[in-house]
Amino acid sequence: MVIMSMSSSPAFLPVLERIADEIERTPGRGRPADYIPALAACDPRSFGMAVAELDGTVYGVGDWRQPFSTQSITKVFTLALDLGREGDELWEHVGREPSGNPFNSLVQLEYENGIPRNPFINAGALVVTDRLQTRSGDAAGELLAFLRAESGNTGLDFDKGVAASESQHGDRNAALAHFMASYGNIDNEVPVLLDQYFRQCSVAASCADLALATTFLARHGIRADGSRLLTRSQAKQVNAVMLTCGTYDAAGDFAYRVGLPGKSGVGGGIIAVVPGRCAICVWSPGLDERGNSVAGVAALDRFTTLTGLSVF
């Protein structure tokens, strides 16, 4: 195995170009999410990848400037925004353990008294969005403002078509929210919460946007403008939960293959963090049976293999 030196920044681009070439020649790229009609038409052969350094320098290949539906990737940012506001009190309402069940499962909620297993399954993300809504008055707006500021792209916005599509097919999320409300773990009216959540998941952004927006976690909680969103300890917590829970019920395999904190979305994107070094976003809409991008996981696997950059 050849380890490519990362001592100088331009070395990122040859690594990305090599990965893109390998992915292009790889058959079997999965299938787009067909249970959200607005995502079903995506080309599974699309591929983009970007790396953002701590100073905001960004490198990319393929479709790295093409916006895509962020979906569950936004759960990382709402988690950080709420954790920065309320601190450890959040963890009284949502756990930090892998679920071992599908991301939209109702099963665990019943025998765990309405406390979701972690913030990245749908139930847990609903709790986080609910708490951010209580504290901000507009959770989705707070998220969008954060992403615009960190990416430097003021044109980022919600995709109204995707939000509407999710709302029309959102019965399972409504069931999760009502079930948790019955245990007193939801503060806002369920229709208000669902509207915020569907808008949150509908944000369209590119690999470049998301890599830049994620660098606050590589900077141990410090935002692009130098202000601190999270304490160093809180940034560690978010990265840890990403590593153990960020790729649905395939987190163990992702940690084994990639060795970085990561969070995927059924739009085909995955963000990953190299603490103290950089943030990465890869996108390819073809998914495996667990909802993770087939080419995205393969690309991140190659990135850590070629560079030697991982948390292990």
Which residues on adjacent β-strands are paired with residue 273? 279
| Residue where the block lists tokens 């603490």 | 275
Whole-angstrom CA distances from 282 to 36, 165, 278 are 20, 24, 13
Helices 294-307 + 12-24 axis angle, to 10:
140
Catalytic residues: 72, 75, 197, 248, 266
